[in-house]
Amino acid sequence: MVSKAFIEHPLYVPQPGWTEQKPDDWWASTCEAIRGVLNGFRRQSIVSIGLTGQMHGSVFLGSKNEVLRPCILWNDQRTAKQCERINRLVGRKKLIELTSNPAFTGFTAPKILWLRENEPAVYAKTRKILLPKDYIRFMLTGDYATDVSDASGTLLLNVRRRKWSEEILSALDISMDILPNIYESPELVGEVSKEASDVTGLKPGIPVVAGAGDQASGGIGAGIVKPGLVSATIGTSGVVFAFCDDIRIDPKGRVHTFCHGVPGKWHIMSVMLSAGGSFRWLRDALGQTETQMEKLTGQDAYSYMDAEATTVDPGCEGLIFLPYLNGERTPHGDPYARGVFFGLSLRHSKPHLIRAVLEGITYGMRDGLEIIHEMGVNISKIRISGGGAKSALWRQIQADVYKKRLEMINIDEGPAFGAALLAGTGVGVYRNIVEACEKTIKVVDQIEPIQKNSIIYDKFYEIYHNLYPALKKSFKEDEKIVSSLR
């Protein structure tokens, strides 16, 4: 890493369960970040550019390439009815056969149907639909393009054949003309335009590769490009990511099978919607003291919460947390699921709540690992990253719950680093992506599971695993009542 920059942009929540951002905010932030990065070295040294970004978001462009409305994001839950309709139109079994995935609320296709049904005037003006990173590419190069990994999350791609599914598009009455062309992730797609050069400071003509969605790019940035390697990343969401030489599909649709950023390969992925987001919720709801301490000392509020959680034994004396604060994607695919503290008693205190949240998130990650293992994927090594890898306590909880040795690597900017490796591969800096990873990514630490803790966690994980089925019906009934009171 030579230079980096980080710029925030707003999140909009126009209704409960809705999440949106403005593509213009992304572009303004991108330009500012690029200018900041260029302060670190000579722009003439840049030989190519890679792209990555949040998946599934829908950017609707008009005839003059104007953005017609804010982008509907990956964790938006408004499309439950559209998902049910897609399952009826295509058939759930056929849908999984063609796209390797069931209909999830976060995916792109149900958002297109939602727009057509709820904002028909906007839909009528729509001439192109782009994913978030691909809108940035358009602004950089003027090209409409996407890559196979990001396209896998639209529910419009035949993941096995790595091309748009004519059968799905026909069933949903969506024109292929509205979609961008598809490329493998390291393929060269365009170059920086004069207009983009003027606002970013980049030299015009720099090649731009197709890039990859954040999870595939993060997998590359963590070196998950060979069989047996799995990553477990706890950020706002929680992702278990496994490499596959050949395509493997869960017939129950509990996890995703997507095209990898490695040409001709695939990955299996489980995604929790509120992993680190649950910990942030706890900080905001109950961590006023820790937040005040952060202001006084400069030490992160989460580190104070970690310290409190270390005073509690594994298993939290029977307190279990379900981290479904904004519905859940995998393995349940349920927009109505909600968070639960189970087993709360007079013995429990704030430190118990903190540790229960960390453990509950980790149980949810184990759900994904168990399904991937069930699908016959070898899991020999687990590499951890994200906020869940910064805490010594949480690292140990993960090792104990997963019952595996964990690896930490020298890279902490996974998706952006993966995009850079794709860019280098596209112009021949590396012969292929595997070589790129081998030359740049090193294991720097390992965490061994503590057997006595694993035995305890196995018992509580069994209870955790049985709670969702017991509560599923009640979650939906609760949401009906809440909706009727709005």
Answer yes or no: is 216 within a domain: no
The residue range of the domain holding 290 is: 224-486
Same domain, 252 and 154: no
Same domain, 126 and 257: no
Answer yes or no: is 219 within a domain: no
| Residues 197, 175: Cα–Cα separation, whole Å | 33
pLDDT of 343 reads: 98
pLDDT of 17 reads: 82
* CATH code, domain carrying 25: 3.30.420.40
CA 210 to chain CA mean position, Å: 18
CB atoms closer than 10 angstroms to residue 49: 24
Q: Which of 131-140, 184-193, 258-267, 406-415 has the lowest mean pLDDT?
A: 406-415
Residue 312 has pLDDT above 90, yes or no: yes
| Residues 148, 260: Cα–Cα separation, whole Å | 7
Same domain, 295 and 385: yes
pLDDT of 42 reads: 75
Answer yes or no: is 286 within a domain: yes
Residue 335 has pLDDT above 90, yes or no: no
Residue 209 has pLDDT above 90, yes or no: yes
Q: Which of 262-266, 371-375, 386-390 has the lowest mean pLDDT?
A: 386-390
Same domain, 30 and 109: yes
pLDDT of 414 reads: 84
Same domain, 180 and 265: no
Residue 43 has pLDDT above 80, yes or no: no
Q: Are 461 and 363 in contact (CB under 8 A)?
A: yes
Residue 40 has pLDDT above 80, yes or no: no
Residue 486 has pLDDT above 80, yes or no: no
Same domain, 106 and 172: yes
Region of residue 383 (left: phi > 0; alpha: psi -120 to 50; beta: else): beta
pLDDT of 258 reads: 96
**Among 39, 425, 23, 430, which residue's Cα sits nearest to residue 207?**
425
The CB-side HSE value for 457 (13 A sphere, CA atoms) comes to 26
The model scores a pTM over 0.95 = no
Same domain, 106 and 146: yes
Residue 82 has pLDDT above 90, yes or no: yes
Residue 225 has pLDDT above 90, yes or no: yes
Mean pLDDT, rounded, for 48-73: 97
Q: Could you tell me which residue, 129 or 486, shows the higher pLDDT?
A: 129
Residue 235 has pLDDT above 90, yes or no: no
Those residues whose C-beta lies under 8 Å from the C-beta of residue 307, and which sit 6 or more positions away, are: none
Q: Which of 153, 177, 210 is the last residue of a domain?
A: 210
Residue 28 has pLDDT above 80, yes or no: yes
Residue 399 — very low, low, confident or very high, per pLDDT cuts 50/70/90? very high
Domains held by the chain: number? 2
Q: Are 325 and 339 in contact (CB under 8 A)?
A: yes
Q: Could you tell me which residue, 9 or 146, shows the higher pLDDT?
A: 146
pLDDT of 319 reads: 98
DSSP 262: S
Q: Which of 181, 210, 239 is the last residue of a domain?
A: 210
Residue 162 has pLDDT above 80, yes or no: yes
Residue 387 has pLDDT above 90, yes or no: no
Same domain, 154 and 265: no
Condensed to tens digits (0 to 9), the pLDDT of residues 423-470 reads 999 999 999 999 999 999 999 999 999 999 999 999 999 999 999 999
Q: Are 254 and 426 in contact (CB under 8 A)?
A: no
pLDDT of 41 reads: 77
Residue 136 has pLDDT above 80, yes or no: yes
Residue 412 — very low, low, confident or very high, per pLDDT cuts 50/70/90? confident
Q: Which of 146, 175, 210 is the last residue of a domain?
A: 210
Residue 113 — very low, low, confident or very high, per pLDDT cuts 50/70/90? very high
Answer yes or no: is 218 within a domain: no
Question: Would you please indicate which residues are annotated as catalytic (active-site) residues?
Answer: 214
Answer yes or no: is 215 within a domain: no
Mean pLDDT, rounded, for 366-382: 94
Q: What is the mean pLDDT of the chain?
A: 95
Residue 312 φ then ψ, to 5°: -110, 140
Answer yes or no: is 294 within a domain: yes
Residue 19 has pLDDT above 90, yes or no: yes
Same domain, 164 and 241: no
Residue 386 has pLDDT above 80, yes or no: yes
Q: Are 460 and 329 in contact (CB under 8 A)?
A: no
Same domain, 438 and 370: yes
* SS3 of residue 400 by DSSP: helix
Same domain, 144 and 195: yes
Q: Could you tell me which residue, 32 or 411, shows the higher pLDDT?
A: 32
Answer yes or no: is 414 within a domain: yes
Q: Which amino acid is at 181?
A: N
Answer yes or no: is 357 within a domain: yes
Same domain, 401 and 274: yes
**Among 6, 127, 131, which residue's Cα sits nearest to residue 57?**
131
